Amino acid sequence: ACREAGLRAASRIAKATGARPFLETFPARVERGAGLPALDRLGYLAEQVAYQLDGVRHVVVAGTRAPVSFFAYPGKASDLVPEGAQTHTLAGEDDDVVTALEELADLVAPDTEPDLAPAHRPDLPEGELTPQNWAQVLGALLPENAIISDEANTSGLLVPPATAGAPRHDVLTLTGGAIGQGMPVATGAAIAAPDRPVINLESDGSALYTISALWTQARENLNVTTVVLNNRAYAILRMELQRVGADTSGPKANSLLDLSTPDMDFTRIAEGMGVPATQAKTAEQLADQLRTALAEPGPHLIEAMVPPLL
């Protein structure tokens, strides 16, 4: 349902009825880009979902379940359906969800066209890399028919708006609550679709769990460009610890979440596994290196040095 036919039907329904269309927080695969409806995903944080669903009286689910919090947090709701709202199942996870959405759209929106994202790319930024401008580089240079394996975590919050008007592409997101799926998923995508460019957006901490995937990419000469967002920290774990009320200000807690003692050199790690690698500290360097990596066959790694967002 997160591919073109389902997205178009959902957009028609929303446009005709005033319903608010949302995707799951982490859909396994979603088609995006110019000429497709740009539907928002439910927020990762319970507070974000509460804002998105404020005032909702009916939640209709299609091919998914009623929204719940990604983790259980002290003093915060786990069931994210607004109090007093009813949940209705249009189609279950094992049903033909696209057909159900299309039939409903034909009933309630027979003459309604979906809202489609216009073709638009951000301008190439300049200066030192930040959690904001690296995503603009990606949006400006994303090739048509690309596959993005997204495990950028806290560094990737601005990727969706930066790529909404880029050429059509697929985004593969989390496969569960653990970290480390980005590199193996990118490897599998490149094997499954050898004629499509695969871009792996990978946070540094998560990369450490499955970095041996680079050796497989080199061995099989897979067309994967990995961008490691190196902020020298387990920023996502720091955020989660803070949200459960843990004190992260002490030296032991800080040391546990710090990835700078010693600093890791992902370019040398990649080269040691047979993958050509470069390092970018500015938006201009990232743009140049991304162009080169996408133009050449086989795997490449770019280590993008970004400050922590959190």
168 and 251 fall within a common domain:
yes
- Give residue 152's Cα distance to chain centre: 7
Asked if the structure places residue 158 within a domain, the reply is yes
CB atoms within 10 A of CB 247: 8
Integer CA distances (angstroms), 11 to 3, 33, 85, 276, in order: 12, 14, 22, 42
Same domain, 64 and 159: no
Least confident range of 23-27, 50-54, 237-241, 292-296: 237-241
In a domain, 67, yes or no: yes
242-248 — which CB contacts under 8 Å span 24+ positions? 243/45, 243/71, 243/73, 244/71, 244/73, 244/74, 245/74
Asked if residue 13 has pLDDT above 90, the reply is yes
Whether 272 is in a domain gets the answer: yes
| Structure confidence at residue 68 as a pLDDT band (50, 70, 90) | very high
* Amino acid 178: pLDDT: 83
d(CA 162, CA 269): 29
Q: What pLDDT is attached to residue 217? A: 98
Please count the helices (runs of H) and the strands (runs of E) in the chain. Answer: 12, 11
- Same domain for 226 and 162, yes or no, is yes
For residues 16 and 96, membership in a common domain is answered with yes
**227 pairs with which residues across the strands?**
201, 302
Residue 274 lies in a domain: yes
| DSSP secondary structure letter of residue 153 | G
Q: Is residue 120 part of a domain?
A: no
Q: Using the predicted structure, report yes or no on whether residue 310 has a pLDDT greater than 70.
A: no
118 domain-assigned: no
- Of 108, 143, 162, which closes a domain? 108
CB 284 within 8 A of CB 247: no
Q: How far apart are the first and last CA of the chain?
A: 33
Mean pLDDT of 191-198: 97
- 154 with 224, same domain: the answer is yes
Are 145 and 195 in a shared domain?
yes
Query: What pTM, to 2 d.p., does this model score?
Result: 0.93
Q: Are residues 153 and 102 both part of a single domain?
A: no
Computed over every residue of the chain, the mean pLDDT equals 93
Question: In angstroms, rounded to a whole number, what is the distance separating the alpha carbons of residues 176 and 164?
Answer: 24
CA distances from 165 to 14, 83, 121, 290 (A): 20, 35, 6, 19
Domain that holds residue 246: 133-305
pLDDT at 309 over 70: no
Q: Is the pLDDT of residue 234 over 80?
A: no
- Of the candidates 103, 135, 113, the one whose C-alpha atom is nearest the C-alpha of residue 122 is 135
| pLDDT tens-digit map of 111-128 | 999 999 999 999 999 999
Does residue 264 share a domain with residue 207? yes
